[in-house]
Amino acid sequence: MTNSPFTPGIAPGRLQPGAYDANFDDLHAPLDGHEAQVAADRCYFCHDAPCITACPTDIDIPLFIRQIATGTPEAAARTIFEQNILGGMCARVCPTETLCEEACVREAAEGKPVLIGQLQRFATDTVMASGAEHPFTRAAPTGKTVAVVGAGPAGLACAHRLAMHGHDVVIHDARPKGGGLNEYGIAAYKTVNAFAQAEIDWLMEIGGITLETGKALGADVTLDSLTKGFDAVFLGMGLAGVNALRAEGEDKDGVLDAVGFISDLRQASDLAGLPIGRNVVVIGGGMTAVDAAVQSRLLGAEMVTILYRRGPDAMPASQYEQDLAASKGVRIVFNAMPVAVLGNGSVTGVRAEYTRAEGKSLVGTGETFDIPADQVLKAIGQTLEGTPDGLQIEGGKIAVTGPGQTGVAGIWAGGDCASGGEDLTVTAVAEGRDAAEDIHKALS
């Protein structure tokens, strides 16, 4: 095996060809009909179900599980889609272990919740794979047009709900494909078989939605032109900028943005052709850090270390995700932050300093250690790229109140680019849906 022509120590093809398919297979095999019935029978069908309260999209979870239990998964899917049109993707990527399943009374009593996420996938997959007619139809055309910027979860949910109300929607997205982070930013083993694109195709069967790719706000379209050309505008373009590591040497060869790394992996036609280091260090503690670290191992990296500046209880990635990383051989070093990237031109290691909390602040202890590395992946958050004219920015995001109202007439925002979000697919869907209802009210 030869090294990559770009950076020493980084090379493609570290595994036998068949290993890639096995490593990147579906993280959770879908339930079959019998398994779904057994899982559904465990639900108590609580009247004031805490799982509903814990769901950002307010899906009536006991109802859809009862519908599965009575042999009507199509009805269950409609119950889900009425609240969350991207219910299929959310069933795959939503951190149910910290949302609906954590709130499940079975979890409290037995430590083993009802498999809500897998049951949701069973119902939604059943309908989407059936080839049946789209479950929702458009209202009579209103003659109103809405521009949506960003074809990620918020933008897609907003567009679908607006189309249901009879409005015509044009989605503008900077990338070659729609889907946003569902397509470009989620671990490949969570969404196999090009599901993100299949879900978009299915969603757009409602009609009245046009997707225009390669159209970036500020470069190809302007906010001024959209507000003049459409009756309303929804901004859901996510966060395209990358936070700086702020460590000496972060410009060395081999230092990459983790989101870009995952994007390249998701779009690769041959995983064996992706170069990966022998020793990989991932900086960060969220879902992106875990996704990048686990996939580095699955590509053949020998040693992968996640470096997180705080303790386990503060880590944004759930305990389930931390355990998943550990099960794949990823080492997590807590209470340590990078202070320098080592090497002469190319990365040879990361120098880190142990940290401690002083009140609400985090300070270095002065004790440092070195981790060998030929590849460093930054997963330390993203930023709003460019500030849309005339909109108030709060905490680095577009300030909104209520259902996505920006304070500027005719402009709404939601998802990761807007204030108040939780950087979750399911939250972005809820914000896009609720903004659409508010837009519809305003246009009516």
Q: Is residue 137 part of a domain?
A: no
Same domain? For 228 and 294 the reply is no
As beta bridge partners, residue 305 has 281, 331
Do residue 339 and residue 262 come from a single domain? yes
Domain stop point among 102, 130, 158: 130
Q: Is the same domain home to 74 and 175?
A: no
> Measured in whole angstroms, how far is the alpha carbon of residue 321 from the centre of its chain?
14
What tokens appear for 136 in the block? 């929702």
37: CB partners within 8 A, 6+ apart: 68, 69, 71
Residue in this structure with the two tokens 């069933």, named with its chain if needed = 91
Give yes or no for a contact between 255 and 224, defined as CB atoms under 8 angstroms apart. no
Residue with tokens 């401690």: 356
pTM of the model: 0.94
Q: Token pair of 146, please?
A: 């809405």
Please report whether residue 421 resides in a domain. Answer: yes
Does residue 417 form part of some domain? yes
DSSP percent split of the chain into helix, strand, coil, nearest 5: 40, 20, 40
Indicate whether 246 and 340 sit together in one domain.
Answer: yes
| Domain final residue, candidates 130, 162, 194 | 130
Residue type, 112: K
Q: Tell me: do 259 and 155 sit in the same domain.
A: no
H or E element at residue 426: helix 425-443
- Statement to judge: residues 265 and 343 lie in one domain: yes
**327 and 408 housed in the same domain:** no
Where among 103, 130, 157 does a domain terminate? 130
Q: Could you tell me the residue range of the domain that residue 234 belongs to?
A: 145-240+384-443
Do 356 and 254 belong to one domain?
yes
**Within-domain flag for 68:** yes
Q: Backbone phi, then psi, for 311, in 5-degree steps?
A: -85, 175
Q: pLDDT 10s per residue in the chain (444 long)?
A: 334 444 668 999 999 989 999 999 999 999 999 999 999 999 999 989 999 999 999 999 999 999 999 999 999 999 999 999 999 999 999 999 999 999 999 999 999 999 999 999 999 999 999 988 899 999 999 999 999 999 999 999 999 999 999 999 999 999 999 999 999 999 999 999 999 999 999 999 999 999 999 999 988 999 999 999 999 999 999 998 888 898 999 999 999 999 999 999 999 999 999 999 999 999 999 999 999 999 999 999 999 999 999 999 999 999 999 999 999 999 999 999 999 999 999 999 999 999 999 988 999 999 999 999 999 999 998 898 877 888 999 989 999 999 999 999 999 999 999 987 678 999 999 999 999 999 999 999
Residue 363 is encoded by which pair of tokens? 């300070």
4: in domain = no
Q: Could you tell me if residue 343 is inside a domain?
A: yes
Residues 63, 79, single domain; the answer is yes
Is 140 among the domain residues?
A: no
CATH number for 347: 3.50.50.60
Close Cβ partners of 280 (under 8 Å, ≥ 6 residues apart)? 293, 296, 301, 303, 304, 305, 373, 374, 375, 376, 377
**296 and 321 assigned to the same domain:** yes
